Amino acid sequence: MSGEGGTRLPPAPRDGEPHPAQHNTAPQGFRAQVSFHTKTTASNQLWQTDFTYLKVIGWGWFYLSTVLDDFSRCIIAWKLCTSMAASDVTDTLEMELTASGCSQVRVHQRPHLLSDNGPCYIAGDLAKWLSDNAMDHVRGAPCHPQT
């Protein structure tokens, strides 16, 4: 079977053997983590947020803001937006707080928020909203989607 550019793909591994693509031959100092260094053990410990771009022919660009619960891997809140502003992020987070019940009950620790370094996520308005809502913000390392 051919892959992209006509190169031949390695044969499928036998049961119990790792696939050749899983071997990381990078020097030790350059290896990415296999998994996030602090795994979640329950819902509402870590929320991940990002935007997805959607081009609707005849209408233009729309942006889907989502918040995913890291433990359950479910999208709990989403909003279709016409921009990618910090206010769109806070609107989606407000929906998430309501849907999760975190805004109605006293919780020991609010969820941490994991995002990339897009303009809406480094904005002062978002930092203030997170501070007002007692939420910590973790941003991924630039050019490293597996933070």
Going from the first residue of the chain to its last (147 residues), give the mean pLDDT of each consecutive group of 10, the final group possibly shorter.
47 53 45 64 92 95 95 93 96 93 77 93 96 92 70
| pTM for this entry | 0.71
pLDDT at 24: 43
pLDDT at 59: 95
Whole-angstrom Cα distance, residue 116 to residue 118?
Answer: 6
Residue 82 has a pLDDT of 96
pLDDT score of 39: 83
Q: Name the nearest CA neighbour of 147 among 75, 46, 63, 53.
A: 46
* CATH no., domain 46-104+111-139: 3.30.420.10
Are the C-beta atoms of 79 and 88 separated by less than 8 Å?
yes
> Can you give the residue ranges of every domain in the chain?
46-104+111-139
Note the pLDDT of residue 101.
Answer: 85
Element (DSSP H or E) covering residue 79: strand 75-81
